[in-house]
Every structure is written in structure tokens, then in C-alpha cells.
């Protein structure tokens, strides 16, 4: 039991996966320019609470289905091989893309500190984003470090996660409080309070990306077999992590809004960092940077852990080569971690902008997994209240999907993301037809 995960470990894994690079950059690039403070707060809160309803479906899942693979194996067992594959194929891209995204974000943190001196040996340009060999090497070293930590065992990974998340939360709270007391509120009041009103379109832009913003909570089902407590309690930890995520996203948005109006924030290379540096000096900036580094590396750690568990489950269910289900002496799917690492090492070569296009798809793919979980839970739940709440989760998931794909929706996916989505779907069809159909197991329905 000493090598199993306790509630604090689960809370750290979920929160560390939820809060990443985006929470530190979105205030200047999206939240303030597009939705301001009030509408962003409403969108984040409603989006987070909507995901909490989805968690009810996950609670039913954990009470009735305690296996590696989480949503994937749940769909496989209850709706058959094809539906299980759809969920697994969706989640694998979510998790795999978020590992290199956070790794390249770590490079951006280094560039914020040391400037363009980090850019060495220019290689080429992809989608307007220059690729440097030095940046690829930095991202690769970070990925290799956390591959090593995860291969040593899930408890080692969790200990590292606990430390990083502690630094993240403490430093965000300190920066928020000091900025709140020190900075003149004139800019904030004039730009974000006077004349402001609730705007559905602006709220929807934030609400629609909730599956991406809070996708980290669904790492929990992937590690459900590693718990030293009742799985039901893990859902409570997931809900706490979502609520904490709402607070941190809003806090960083407010910190930025204290200094910059919407248009001025958009002009800054890093609005939040510049705001803190100009008003709290180098000490405040260091605290913020430590929080950012903690967020980025905890995201790499959390999604590497989740990815390896999912790949191991896909292997058990004969949808991935058999070698990926084998565990080392620490009880870890070592080959699966090596696979995640390999993908993570390749991804930086395609440029961060392309990775972002792929990650944007994660909102839709995650919402699809939510839909499956809540639908199955609504069918198998023996508790009437949980059945009804699971149906609410189904509706919430469908709203997320609709906002992301319906034409003229304020939160519709960009054209490059839609193109990558079609490519991923076609690749999935090809993979399923040519590779997975050769396996016939007793679990097929």
C-alpha cells in the first residue's frame, strides 16, 4: 500500500494536469481581449461547474469499473470494441499532444528569462513559427527527465507532482494578494467594470474551451487501480481540483487586468509576466516564473502518467501491440512510457504552432469521451439521482461539442484544427481496419 496513491497525490496529479502554460498566457492572448474579466469569470465558472456534472458520470464509472484505461475500457466493456476504440483514439491524442505542448512551453519560460539568446541553430519555419535546434534539445531534456521519473514508479511521480503543485498554488496566491494590495485599481475599474455587461457570445468563447482547460481531471480514471482509498473519494479530489483550477485561472486573469486594458494586453508578448515584473519587480517575477515552471512540468508529468496507463490498457484490449502492457519491477508500463517519450521527442520538430492546432482539437475529443462516460453511466446507474445527473452530463457534453463544431458558433474550432481533426479521424479508421480488426477476443461485443 505504501506505493499506492493517496488523496493528496490524486489532487496534485489532477490539478497539476489542469493548470498548464495556458493559464499564464490566456489572460493576455484570449481572456481579456475577447471576454474581459466578468464574462471570462462567468465562462470559467460555468465551464468548470459543467465539468463537475460530468464528474457524476465518472463517479458511477469508478464505482462499477475499476480498470486501467478509464473511459476507454469503460466504453469497451459496455458498448463494444468499436466504441471503446473511438474513446481510446480520442483520448490518446489529447494526452500525447499535451506532453510536448508543455515541454515546448517550458522552452518559452526559459526564453522569457534569458531572451533570444536561447535561440541557437535555426532549422526552419512551420506555420509561421521558427524552429531552433536549441529549443528542441531543451524540450527533449525535460521530456526525458519525466520519462525517467515515471519509469521509477507511480509513487515517485506523485511525490514530484506534490512538490510542484504546492509551489504552483502558493506562488499564485502570493502574487494575487500582493498585486491586489499594491496596484492602483483605476485601469481595472475603467476597462472591466464600468459599462460592462454579461455577453453570451463572450461567455461562450470561454465556456466552450472548458473541456481543454479542465481535461486534466480525467487522468484520475487512468490511475484508478493505483489508489489506496475508495475510488469514490477520488472523484471528490477531482471536483476539488476543478474548483481550484477555476480559482487559479481567474486569479491570473485578474492579476493581468489590474495593469492592462484589453487592447494593451494583446500587444504584450507576455502580459501577465510583464504586469508582475513592472509592479512587483524581480522578486515577484521570480515567484510567478516558479509557479509557471511548476505548472508546465506538472502537466508533462501528469499527462505522461495518464498516457502510459491508457496505452497499457489499449494493449491489454488488443488494440496496441502486446509489449506495451508489460510492467517493470516498479509496476509501470515502461514500454508505454518510452512510446509517449518518443512521440514527445518528435513533436517539437513540427513547431509549437502546429502542436497548438492539434491541442485545440483536444476540447472536442475530450468532450466526446465525457459524452460516452455520462451516457453509459446513465444506463447502468442504480441510483435515480445519479442517473439524472449523468444525463445532465450527457447534455453538457453535447453542448461542448456543439459549440466547437457548429458553424458561426463563437467558439468554433479554427480551420487548421478542423483539418487536423479530419486527418486524425481518417487515421483512426485506417488503423482500426488494418490493425485492430485482426484481433478477436472474448471481450468483443
Please say if the pLDDT value at position 445 is more than 50: no
Q: Rounded to an integer, what distance in angstroms lies between the CA atom of residue 144 and that of residue 280?
A: 34
- Average pLDDT for the chain: 86
Question: Could you tell me if residue 193 is left (phi over 0), alpha (psi between -120 and 50 degrees) or otherwise beta?
Answer: alpha
- At residue 41, the pLDDT reads 95
Please say if the pLDDT value at position 355 is more than 80: no
- At residue 378, the pLDDT reads 94
Q: Rounded to an integer, what distance in angstroms lies between the CA atom of residue 252 and that of residue 259?
A: 12
Please say if the pLDDT value at position 247 is more than 90: yes
Q: Rounded to an integer, what distance in angstroms lies between the CA atom of residue 97 and that of residue 299?
A: 11
**pLDDT digit string, tens, across residues 340-353:** 999 888 888 887 77
Q: Is beta strand 129-132 parallel, antiparallel or unpaired with respect to 122-126?
A: antiparallel
16 contacts 238 by C-beta, under 8 angstroms: no
Mean pLDDT of 219-228: 80
The band of 393, judged by pLDDT with boundaries at 50, 70 and 90, is very high
Question: Could you tell me if residue 80 is left (phi over 0), alpha (psi between -120 and 50 degrees) or otherwise beta?
Answer: left
- At residue 415, the pLDDT reads 87
425 contacts 59 by C-beta, under 8 angstroms: no
- At residue 441, the pLDDT reads 47
What is the per-residue DSSP string for 351-396? -HHHHHHHHHHHHHHHHHHHHHHHHHHHHH--SHHHHHHHHHHHHH
**pLDDT digit string, tens, across residues 170-213:** 999 999 999 999 998 888 999 998 878 888 888 988 887 887 78
C-alpha cell at 235: 472523484
Distances (CA, A) of 20 to 98, 188, 241, 373: 9, 25, 13, 25
445 contacts 81 by C-beta, under 8 angstroms: yes
Q: Rounded to an integer, what distance in angstroms lies between the CA atom of residue 360 and that of residue 442?
A: 36
Please say if the pLDDT value at position 267 is more than 70: yes
The band of 248, judged by pLDDT with boundaries at 50, 70 and 90, is very high
C-alpha cell at 168: 504552483
- At residue 40, the pLDDT reads 94
Could you give the angle at which helices 71-79 and 271-316 cross, rounded to 10 degrees? 40
Burial of 177 (0-12, 13-18, 19+ CB in 10 A): exposed
**pLDDT digit string, tens, across residues 279-325:** 999 899 889 888 888 888 888 888 888 888 899 999 888 888 888 88
22 contacts 352 by C-beta, under 8 angstroms: no
The band of 436, judged by pLDDT with boundaries at 50, 70 and 90, is low
Mean pLDDT of 361-386: 89
Q: Rounded to an integer, what distance in angstroms lies between the CA atom of residue 370 and that of residue 23?
A: 22
Please say if the pLDDT value at position 438 is more than 70: no
Question: Could you tell me if residue 337 is left (phi over 0), alpha (psi between -120 and 50 degrees) or otherwise beta?
Answer: alpha
**pLDDT digit string, tens, across residues 118-136:** 888 888 888 778 888 998 8
Q: What angle do CA 118, 124, 127 make, to 5 degrees?
A: 100
Q: Which has more confidence, 418 or 105? A: 418
Q: Rounded to an integer, what distance in angstroms lies between the CA atom of residue 315 and that of residue 326?
A: 9
Burial of 238 (0-12, 13-18, 19+ CB in 10 A): buried
Range name among 139-153, 167-181, 273-287, 425-439 with the lowest pLDDT average: 425-439
- At residue 3, the pLDDT reads 61
Mean pLDDT of 235-251: 92
Please say if the pLDDT value at position 109 is more than 80: no
Residue ranges and CATH numbers for the domains of the chain are 7-438 (1.20.1740.10)
Q: Rounded to an integer, what distance in angstroms lies between the CA atom of residue 87 and that of residue 137?
A: 33
310 contacts 73 by C-beta, under 8 angstroms: no
Could you give the angle at which helices 7-18 and 231-257 cross, rounded to 10 degrees? 40
Amino acid at each position: 500500500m505504501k506505493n499506492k496513491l493517496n488523496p493528496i497525490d490524486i489532487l496534485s496529479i489532477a490539478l497539476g494536469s489542469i493548470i498548464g502554460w495556458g493559464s499564464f498566457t490566456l489572460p493576455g492572448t484570449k481572456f481579456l481581449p475577447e471576454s474581459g474579466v466578468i464574462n471570462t469569470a462567468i465562462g470559467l465558472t460555468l465551464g468548470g461547474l459543467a465539468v463537475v456534472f460530468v464528474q457524476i458520470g465518472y463517479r458511477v464509472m469508478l464505482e462499477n469499473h475499476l480498470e486501467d484505461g478509464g473511459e476507454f475500457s469503460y466504453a469497451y466493456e459496455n458498448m463494444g470494441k468499436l466504441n471503446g476504440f473511438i474513446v481510446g483514439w480520442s483520448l490518446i491524442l489529447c494526452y500525447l499532444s499535451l506532453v510536448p505542448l508543455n515541454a515546448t512551453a517550458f522552452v518559452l519560460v526559459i526564453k522569457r528569462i534569458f531572451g533570444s539568446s536561447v535561440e541557437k541553430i535555426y532549422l526552419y519555419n512551420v506555420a509561421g513559427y521558427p524552429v531552433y535546434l536549441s529549443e528542441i534539445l531543451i524540450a527533449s531534456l525535460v521530456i526525458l527527465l519525466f520519462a525517467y521519473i515515471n519509469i521509477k514508479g507511480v509513487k515517485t511521480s506523485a511525490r514530484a507532482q506534490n512538490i510542484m503543485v504546492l509551489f504552483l498554488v502558493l506562488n499564485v496566491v502570493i502574487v494575487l494578494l500582493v498585486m491586489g494590495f499594491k496596484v492602483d485599481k483605476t485601469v481595472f475599474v475603467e476597462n472591466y467594470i464600468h459599462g460592462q455587461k454579461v455577453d453570451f457570445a463572450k461567455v461562450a468563447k470561454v465556456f466552450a474551451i472548458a473541456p481543454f482547460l479542465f481535461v486534466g481531471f480525467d487522468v484520475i480514471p487512468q490511475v484508478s487501480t493505483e489508489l489506496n482509498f475508495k475510488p469514490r473519494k477520488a472523484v471528490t479530489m477531482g471536483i476539488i481540483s476543478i474548483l481550484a483550477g477555476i480559482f487559479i485561472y481567474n486569479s491570473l486573469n485578474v492579476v493581468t487586468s489590474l495593469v492592462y486594458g484589453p487592447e494593451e494586453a494583446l500587444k504584450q508578448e507576455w502580459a501577465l509576466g510583464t504586469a508582475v515584473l513592472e509592479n512587483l519587480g524581480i522578486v515577484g517575477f521570480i515567484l510567478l516564473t516558479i509557479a509557471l515552471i511548476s505548472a508546465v512540468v506538472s502537466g508533462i508529468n501528469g499527462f505522461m502518467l495518464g498516457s502510459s496507463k491508457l496505452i497499457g490498457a489499449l494493449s491489454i484490449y488488443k488494440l496496441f501491440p502486446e509489449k506495451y502492457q508489460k510492467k517493470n519491477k516498479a509496476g509501470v508500463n515502461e514500454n508505454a512510457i518510452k512510446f509517449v517519450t518518443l512521440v514527445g521527442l518528435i513533436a517539437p520538430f513540427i513547431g509549437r504552432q502546429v502542436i497548438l492546432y492539434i491541442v485545440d482539437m483536444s476540447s472536442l475529443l475530450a468532450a466526446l469521451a465525457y459524452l460516452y462516460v455520462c451516457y453509459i453511466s446513465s444506463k447502468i446507474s442504480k441510483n435515480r439521482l445519479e442517473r439524472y445527473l449523468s444525463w445532465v452530463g450527457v447534455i453538457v457534453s453535447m453542448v461542448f461539442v456543439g459549440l466547437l463544431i457548429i458553424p458561426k458558433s463563437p467558439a468554433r474550432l479554427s480551420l487548421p484544427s478542423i483539418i487536423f481533426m479530419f486527418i486524425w479521424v481518417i487515421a483512426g479508421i485506417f488503423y482500426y481496419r488494418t490493425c485492430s480488426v485482426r484481433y478477436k477476443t472474448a471481450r468483443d461485443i
